[in-house]
Structure 1
Amino acid sequence: MPDFPPAANRGVRAAGVPESGATIAQAALVVVAVLYFARDLLVPLALAVLLSFVLAPIARALRRIGIPRVAGVLAAVLAAVAVIGMLGLIMGRQLAELAVDLPLYQYELTRKLASVNASGGIVERAQEMLRGLAAGAERAAPQPAPSLDADAVQPLPVELRLPDPKPFELLQNVLEPLLYPLATFGIVVVLVIFVLLYREDLRDRVIRLVGARDLHRTMAAMDDAAYRLSRYFLALTAMNAAYGVVITGALLLIGVPQPMLWGIVAGLMRYVPFVGTIVAVAFPLLLALAVEPGWTMPLLVLVLFAIGEGLMGQVFEPLVFGRSTGISPVAVIAAATFWTWLWGPIGLIVAVPLTVCLVVLGRHVERFEFLEVALGDRPPLDPPETFYQRALSGDGDALAEQAEDVLRDKRLSAYYDEVALPALALAQADAMRGSFAPERLTALRARIGALVEDLEEEVEDDLAPEVPLTEQEDKDAAPARNEIPPPPAVLVPPGSAMCVAGRGPFDEAAAAMLAQMLRKRGIGAVAAPVDLLRGGDLTGLDTGLVRQAWFCTVEGGASVAASRYLLRRMKRRFPEAQLAALVIGAGPDSKLPDALRTEGALAVEGALADVGRVALRLATAAENKVAAASQ
């Protein structure tokens, strides 16, 4: 049975953000200012946290094989420092070799551009156009007035020459650019060691800072989140390293100079979304254009990166990580832009890992839930809320798209139970508050009715009752199993089951959904408006043949007294039928189901799965009664 929220709680709860707009703006400005002005401190801290996530599984593995904790942490950190240092030396050596050969590459690129220009003159015409625009701008610019003093003395050119630097100054000029990166690297190493050694203490302090209603569950959740993040970052680092090795080998076979440099760059750029691929392929492509007179090598480079990125993004990453990293695509772009603006190239590399950490923090700490809502890839609204929002906006295509997405994995009855019927409860709650203008209410009802009609051709894969029969019900239905064809054969003729809507604005939609589900289970059901109870037959059908009559209502659409009155009229209208009621959105304090039971109706509270069980039982009993009477 779907879990309908109580009427008082059917709104969309805010995700833990401050309610005041001024408070939000002030908090955002303070956070951005701290991130920007304290970047010299925060960049090493962020790098240390991310590196600790990568090294934590290694340190735990060393601990499991008997190595003491401190020794294991130091061994893991020293191994990482050795790898990073080796990569830095390789990149420095390859860059030095590249700098020596740059004049040759520049000449070859110039020659190729000249050949392209000679073949079509495109470059030359573009240059002429730019020169013409520049000349026009110069002519349009105001010219300075000529000097009246014809004998004005022209100034003499002055050239300043600095003295040759002393040996100490020369050494300072060489070492000074290296001091900041080396100092940052040293701080990161020290922070990583302390984070790995005192990670439980840091976890407890974070819990103390953010608070926790349930300390045990919060600690377990954060431990699980840290464990998952460690596995994710370690696996991501291993995959990016393997990708860099493959790219290095392939570029070596193709003949691109400095393949190890571009392999390392390609592995690092795998941390950067979208832009990383462009950066990784740009430099090898330019070198391929400069090295070979022809076009074979550049095309091979393009094919290599196209295949490599396709395999990584569509095969290996989904296989290892699942469907996604938990970040929405818009958040990925926004995070890359934001962190690059704050911290430069380092921010671009750490943007996605930091955003993943923020999403996990929002998922496990209630106070930061807004981070998951803003950055995560989970839908911000529940499926019933999404259904209701799209129906309100009149977006029929979006409603149909949502139905198709749900129906790929679930049956139509499950879609109604989990999405459509709870959405009717949300709509009814707004109708009770008087939120609808008459024309908007009419349009909303028409949109829901059109969706139900569009789903008429959907097939139920499993037509058996979703809820198991009790032992007595199974015994009562046993004689009929050999006599009545199984669904979807017609158990009873059309019109034998009437689904009568109540007086609420959305009761007709509930009746239409119920009738549709009964028809798919082999029961000839017809949806009828409440006007049917005022007399007359529906579309020429003899209401005396009705064997089960369903009263369909959404909680709050009418009072309990009015619903009981309609049920009594149904009893008089269909004297030979078994009465039943479908109540949508009945909360634990609702009196409507019990009130309908006192009128002799079988009350089912809000689930078509239960309706299927009850309706099949009633149809079986009716067929047995008809068969017995004919004998």
Structure 2
Amino acid sequence: MALPLIMYEAERMADDSGPAERRPAVVTAAETPGLSGLLTLAVAVVVVAGLYLGRTVLIPITLAVLLSFLLAPIVNLLRRIHLGRVLSVIVAVLLALTVILALGGLIGIQIAGLAQDVPKYASTIRTKLDTVQGFATSRLNLVMRGLGQPVETRSQMQPKTPNAGGQQKPMQVEVQQPEPTPMQIAERVIAPIVDPLSTTAIVVIVAIFVLLQREDLRDRLIRLFGSSDLHRTTAAMNDAARRLSRYFLTQLGINAAFGVITGTGLLLIGVPSPLLWGIIGLLLRFVPYIGAPLAAVLPLALAAAVSPGWSMVAWTGGLYVVTEAVMGQVVEPLLYGHSTGLSPFSVVVSATFWTWLWGPIGLILSTPLTLCLVVLGRHVERLEFLDVILGDRPALTPVESFYQRMLAGDPDEARDQAEVLLRERPLSSYYDEVALKGLQLAANDAARGVLTEVQLGKIKSSMQELIDDLDEHDDKDPDAKESLEGASAALSRSEQDLPRHPPPGKVAEDALAPGWRGGAPVLCIAGRGVLDEAAASMLSQLLHKSGLKARVLQHEAASRLRIGSLDGEGVSMVCLCYLDLDGTPSHLRYMLRRLRQRLPAAKLLVGLWPVEQAILTDDRLRAAVGADVYISSLREAVEACLEAARTEVQPIAA
């Protein structure tokens, strides 16, 4: 009597008629700032201060390094045709200087020709100002008369001169400056251009040395920052060089197209000196945000001065607005894609920061400098926060994002994410790679006791709403049109890297074994976890889409007290769904024993999603549990059910 009693007590204790009791969470106390954090903060302050105080030296060097990145592809091309290192660098630099001087000469010639017509333009501007002033005065008179106030005429508004009768006119005094000496004239002319010329000379000389000593400088930087990890350091430098070169060349091409389009448009509109405004538009568009509006100011003013009407001004403004909108919203996203690796937020913040630090030059250099910081954050572990804050990669993986939406009780956003992902993958692949793994995160938090009952209920209800919403999607590979739409849906890199598994397929009813054709041949029973019912519901939905009818039961339906009332008519397969199975699964073994006694003809399938492969390959665990089929994904579960449904059961000979 003792042995059966002990076995009965063990089965009663192992049997779970409800969710397992959650362990209380162990929350560690907040740590005080350590020496490492304080040193990091001190280093950051010192670096920012050094960048500000040393801007006179650092700005030319930075410009030279960035110019070398821009000229590096040209140097490489010249070296491929066997010009040699030194000659290739000299030719590339001379080519760049020739382009710069040619642009400067064109700008000077255009400005000189435009200056001759300034008096004529000034009279047109005065006429328009008088027209605008007269219109404004007439409107003001109408308003004042409506208010019953007296209206002053222009003669009344002019200051009254005192009666000059009997008073002498004041004597006019003229102060003459002495004629400037030749030295003073030379100082006035040369002084404003000395500083730009010296800066340009420094930039060119440093750029030449950087291009000549690229390999040596690279080796020295590797030795300085990462000789212990050559692979990571080399990858970081190659990534930075590739991104910067691509950014500069693409930006140069886009800005050149902007200048050509605006210059051609101004020529057709009739604005004088269209070549000048095209070149200025090309150059000013390198300035983020304000470059294009600044490039449009002078052409708009000139259009107002040339034409007596306002049609030319309207056409000029429309030309700049449409061209900048197309370039900024269509062309740049199409050409850049994710090549720069910067988020829109980081572009705004970096422009503000570098402008404060280095002035207008900092605004121009803000994007490439921030790009270098992002690349540094992607390859240096201690600087990873730079990539998180400034980079375009999402801070959360698709699985973490799914769990966050479930935790927030927002199934609508979860459905939006699912709709985008389902354009490139079947429903079963989305459930396996995102939904089940997100529920596993929730199950882990529930086991640690960090989720309240309210949060668990919110996750459970949100998950059921999502499953109901996705019932309209078939479990099939998307066609070419849907895949094209999905490719243009701005998927993040982590979303694009999600595995894609082919769907299990679908079976016709006449291809099923006789025992699988009526009723609901598959019984999906949830585990004892709070969220196991969601996994069972997803499996049941996929089985329906594959041609097999199934129904879902809660864990209590197979408990020791209620197993006798379990309706097993027409059941050919029983699927047990567990999101988490920790420790010795004695409760699972006893549940399978009860199900075999209740449904002797049905096959038993155990799903552990996700699960370590060691659990599925452990022969001792298999023998202890005693199931017929073990799977680790919903797709495998559907395939196992389809394989069993197609197999004809041979009658046993008497």
How high is the TM-score relative to the length of structure 2?
Answer: 0.77
5+ residue gaps, structure 1: 1-17, 129-157
In the other structure, the counterpart of 2:164 is none
Deviation, structure 1 residue 583: 1.0
Amino acid at match of 2:639: R
In the other structure, the counterpart of 1:577 is 602
1:77-103 Cα offsets, whole Å, 9 max, x none, are 111011112222333444455566556
Shift of the 220–26 alpha-carbon distance from structure 1 to 2, 3 Å rule, reads: closer
Partner of 2:521: helix, strand, or coil?
Answer: strand
1:182-231 Cα offsets, whole Å, 9 max, x none, are 11111111111121122222222333333266423542553354235324
Shift of the 293–211 alpha-carbon distance from structure 1 to 2, 3 Å rule, reads: same
Shift of the 436–557 alpha-carbon distance from structure 1 to 2, 3 Å rule, reads: farther
Q: Is the 8 A contact 1:583 1:593 kept in 2?
A: no
Deviation, structure 1 residue 381: 0.8
CA distance in 2 between counterparts of 1:295 and 1:491 reads 80
In the other structure, the counterpart of 1:206 is 221
Which of 372, 384, 387 is equivalent to 2:399? 384
In the other structure, the counterpart of 1:415 is 430
Q: Is the 8 A contact 2:342 2:390 kept in 1?
A: yes
CA distance in 1 between counterparts of 2:603 and 2:138 reads 84
Deviation, structure 1 residue 69: 0.6
Pairing 1:64–2:80 present: yes
Amino acid at match of 1:508: E
Q: Is the 8 A contact 1:505 1:557 kept in 2?
A: no
In the other structure, the counterpart of 2:282 is 267
Shift of the 265–410 alpha-carbon distance from structure 1 to 2, 3 Å rule, reads: farther
In the other structure, the counterpart of 2:548 is 523
Amino acid at match of 2:525: V
Amino acid at match of 1:571: R
Q: Is the 8 A contact 1:502 1:566 kept in 2?
A: no
Partner of 1:422: helix, strand, or coil?
Answer: helix
Which of 633, 639, 654 is equivalent to 1:607? 633
How high is the TM-score relative to the length of structure 1?
Answer: 0.80
In the other structure, the counterpart of 2:300 is 285
Which of 569, 572, 587 is equivalent to 1:544? 569
Partner of 1:181: helix, strand, or coil?
Answer: helix
1:215-269 Cα offsets, whole Å, 9 max, x none, are 2354255335423532442233233223323322322232223323321232234
Pairing 1:325–2:340 present: yes
Q: Is the 8 A contact 1:499 1:511 kept in 2?
A: yes
In the other structure, the counterpart of 2:528 is 503
Deviation, structure 1 residue 339: 1.8
CA distance in 2 between counterparts of 1:217 and 1:298 reads 55
Deviation, structure 1 residue 63: 0.3
Shift of the 467–457 alpha-carbon distance from structure 1 to 2, 3 Å rule, reads: closer
Amino acid at match of 2:181: K
Shift of the 578–213 alpha-carbon distance from structure 1 to 2, 3 Å rule, reads: farther
Pairing 1:341–2:318 present: no
Q: Is the 8 A contact 1:501 1:530 kept in 2?
A: yes
Q: Is the 8 A contact 1:272 1:351 kept in 2?
A: no
CA distance in 2 between counterparts of 1:550 and 1:276 reads 64
Partner of 1:625: helix, strand, or coil?
Answer: coil
Q: Is the 8 A contact 1:326 1:377 kept in 2?
A: yes
Deviation, structure 1 residue 601: 2.3
Q: Is the 8 A contact 1:105 1:290 kept in 2?
A: yes
In the other structure, the counterpart of 1:45 is 61
In the other structure, the counterpart of 1:15 is none
Which of 346, 356, 377 is equivalent to 2:371? 356
When the two chains are superposed, the root-mean-square deviation of aligned CA atoms in Å is 3.8
5+ residue gaps, structure 2: 1-33, 145-172, 479-499
Q: Is the deviation greater in 569-578 or in 308-317?
A: 308-317
Deviation, structure 1 residue 110: 5.1
CA distance in 2 between counterparts of 1:536 and 1:492 reads 30
CA distance in 2 between counterparts of 1:121 and 1:570 reads 95
Q: Is the deviation greater in 117-126 or in 344-353?
A: 117-126
1:16-53 Cα offsets, whole Å, 9 max, x none, are xx996645543443332222221112211221222111
CA distance in 1 between counterparts of 2:335 and 2:405 reads 35
Q: Is the 8 A contact 1:507 1:557 kept in 2?
A: no
Q: Is the 8 A contact 1:506 1:557 kept in 2?
A: no
CA distance in 2 between counterparts of 1:202 and 1:380 reads 34
Partner of 1:495: helix, strand, or coil?
Answer: coil
CA distance in 1 between counterparts of 2:220 and 2:276 reads 42
1:292-326 Cα offsets, whole Å, 9 max, x none, are 12222222223322443344345544554346632
Shift of the 342–550 alpha-carbon distance from structure 1 to 2, 3 Å rule, reads: same
In the other structure, the counterpart of 2:312 is 297
Amino acid at match of 2:456: L
Deviation, structure 1 residue 613: 2.4
1:549-564 → structure 2 map (5 Å cutoff):
549-556=574-581, 560-564=585-589
1:215-230 → structure 2 map (5 Å cutoff):
215-216=230-231, 218-220=233-235, 222-223=237-238, 225-230=240-245
Amino acid at match of 1:451: L
CA distance in 2 between counterparts of 1:19 and 1:436 reads 34
Which of 462, 487, 490 is equivalent to 1:447? 462
Deviation, structure 1 residue 68: 0.6
CA distance in 1 between counterparts of 2:328 and 2:142 reads 38
Shift of the 377–48 alpha-carbon distance from structure 1 to 2, 3 Å rule, reads: same
Partner of 2:522: helix, strand, or coil?
Answer: strand
Partner of 1:394: helix, strand, or coil?
Answer: coil
1:67-78 → structure 2 map (5 Å cutoff):
67-78=83-94
In the other structure, the counterpart of 2:96 is 80
CA distance in 2 between counterparts of 1:188 and 1:91 reads 22
Amino acid at match of 1:425: Q
In the other structure, the counterpart of 1:178 is 193
Shift of the 226–176 alpha-carbon distance from structure 1 to 2, 3 Å rule, reads: same
CA distance in 1 between counterparts of 2:266 and 2:501 reads 58
CA distance in 2 between counterparts of 1:22 and 1:252 reads 60
CA distance in 2 between counterparts of 1:239 and 1:196 reads 25
Partner of 2:475: helix, strand, or coil?
Answer: coil
Amino acid at match of 1:503: R
Partner of 1:419: helix, strand, or coil?
Answer: helix
Shift of the 580–323 alpha-carbon distance from structure 1 to 2, 3 Å rule, reads: same
